[in-house]
Amino acid sequence: MKNKVLITGGAGYIGSHTCIALHEADYDIVVYDNLSNSSREAINRISTLIGQNIEFVEGDIRDTELLRKIFASHEFFGVIHFAGLKAVGESVAKPLLYYNNNVSGTINLLEVMTEYNVKNLVFSSSATVYGDPESLPIDESSKRSCTNPYGQSKLMVEHILEDLAISDTGWNMIALRYFNPVGAHTSGKIGEDPKDIPNNLMPYISQVAIGKLDKLNIFGNDYPTVDGTGVRDFIHVTDLAQGHVAALNYLDKQINLNESRTIQKNLVGFLPINLGTGKGTSVLELISAFSDVSGKTIPYQFTSRRSGDISSCYASADKAKSLLEWQAKLSITDMCKDTWHWQSMNPNGYE
Ligand code: NAD
Ligand code: UFG
């Protein structure tokens, strides 16, 4: 029988790409999303791409009764938990909203999972839990610290999952710490669709390229990097989606292995894994790559540093390679090409 997986936040940017990768890997999926930062059109497009209607439930992870109903009517192997709010600036202005949605919402989901004895989880964590890293590349044992409510909410959930793993060895949980997801599906049918002016670099660049925004503000050119601008580990969303398939496959394999063992049990517990390419790219390097593939000039100006930004951040991707047998394949050129394809085919996103 195919494993069935609940995808919270599956209508969102990373979730929608992961739905396609899971379908291609022969998983059954049920998407659960309150559409607070996504649209029904994304669901329609996923269905078109996979050639069948996906099962979609419009609901909030804080709605216990609805979650119970969904768990009662399906036999889930596990949950991939993307649902959450993600805007750092908004989290500073509305901390209670972020803690309620991201932390209370996750606790609620975990409680219902416990009730229905579904104890396999892949959680969307973030490189933000490393704060300002002491050394590079960042591996999973690096110190964790956060300075804003969004980051805190991810770190709090990681702590909750760690405690849960200690309390009950039946849990198998992987926290995937994403670096900087960019790009879009090669079809150009799904991609990132920011509701307001983008906070993140790649969608901002592509909206400048399409003429929706005048110019890019580059936040600082005096960092100790190759050209003074910030350096990040950009990862194609399609590679990231494959990382989720690899994580589920890993859980499945470990569980089967355990069932066949009589003496030594080796459950997953809480396992944090970076999903990055291991390579850093500067803001100016990304702009140049985007100009090359789109043929568009990206006007920009240097402004002061953005509060809370760090200089450089890139992953050690060794753990994902050795445990999950996964590594990123797509290049910065692929990321820019697919972003531009999505942006030019959908100048107004899913509208
Ligand atoms: P997204 O906003 O596109 O997707 C999140 C989805 O969750 C949205 O469809 C939204 O409607 C849904 N959602 C939010 N709160 C919900 C709730 N209470 N109940 C049900 N659904 C809810 O964001 P994304 O970029 O796809 O990110 C997915 C996850 O990955 C998030 O948890 C985010 O914090 C994390 N993450 C994202 C990045 C990034 O740069 N995109 C980096 C690291 C981690
Ligand atoms: N930048 C600009 N101008 C912009 C936007 C960004 O110069 O308009 C610069 C930033 O200063 C930084 C780089 O581009 O040097 C990347 O910035 P992003 O906002 O795209 O990404 P961040 O690394 O700041 O943060 C993102 C998510 C976080 C997540 C983190 C790690 O916003 O939520 O990646 O996964 F935690």
The reply to whether CATH 3.40.50.720 applies to domain 4-345 is yes
The residue to mutate among 7, 8, 13, having the most atoms of ligand 1 within 8 angstroms of its beta carbon, is 13
CA 86–ligand 1 middle distance (angstroms): 6
Q: How far is the CA of 152 from the centre of ligand 1 (A)?
A: 15
Residue in the block written with tokens 């099962």: 55
Instruction: Give yes or no for a cis peptide into 137 (omega within 30° of 0).
Output: yes
Q: What is the pLDDT of residue 336?
A: 98
Distance between CA atoms of 112 and 184, rounded to whole angstroms? 33
Is the model's pLDDT at 25 over the cut of 90?
A: yes
Chain segment 187-220, per-residue pLDDT in tens:
999 999 998 999 999 999 999 999 999 999 999 9
Which residue's CA lies nearest to atom 27 of ligand 1? 14
pLDDT tens column, 139-170: 999 999 998 999 999 999 999 999 999 999 99
pLDDT score at 351: 87
Helix H or strand E encompassing 50: helix 40-50
CB of 12 closer than 8 Å to CB of 38: yes
pLDDT of residue 257: 83
| Domain residue ranges in the chain | 4-345
Ligand 1 centroid to 11 CA: how many Å? 9
Q: What DSSP string runs through 13-35? A: HHHHHHHHHHHHTT-EEEEEE--
Q: Whose C-alpha lies nearest to ligand 2, atom 26?
A: 180
Look at residue 14 in the predicted model and tell me its pLDDT: 98
Average pLDDT on 63-75 reads 98
Report the greatest alpha carbon distance in the chain.
Answer: 65
C-alpha span between 68 and 230 (Å, rounded): 44
Pocket residues: Cβ below 6 A from ligand 2:
86, 88, 126-128, 178-180, 199-201, 204, 216-219, 230, 232, 283, 306, 309
Residue type at position 255: I
What is the phi/psi pair of residue 58, to 5°?
-85, 110
What is the C-alpha to C-alpha distance for residues 189 and 349, in angstroms, rounded to an integer?
10
- Please tell me which residue in 13, 32, 98, 150 is annotated as part of the active site: 150
Confidence of residue 265 (pLDDT cuts 50, 70, 90): low
Between CA 90 and CA 56 the distance in angstroms is: 28
pLDDT number for residue 127: 98
> Do residues 276 and 315 make contact, with C-beta atoms less than 8 angstroms apart?
yes
Please tell me if the CB atom of residue 244 comes closer than 6 angstroms to any atom of ligand 1: no
In the reported structure, the alpha carbon of residue 69 is separated from the centroid of ligand 1 by a whole-number distance in angstroms of: 23
Whole-number average pLDDT of the chain = 96
Residue nearest to atom 11 of ligand 2 (CA): 219
Is 150 known to be catalytic?
Answer: yes
pTM score, whole prediction: 0.98
Q: What DSSP assignment string belongs to 285-331?
A: HHHHHHHHHH-----EEEEPPPTT--SEE-B--HHIIIII-------
Name 178's bridge partners.
126, 275
Q: Which of 7, 8, 14 to mutate to test the pocket of ligand 1 (most atoms within 8 A of CB)?
A: 14
pLDDT confidence tier of residue 266, bands split at 50, 70 and 90: low
The pLDDT assigned to 260 comes to 74
Residue nearest to atom 30 of ligand 2 (CA): 128
CA of 85 to the centre of ligand 1 (A): 5
Ligand 2 atom with minimal separation from the 223 CA: 15
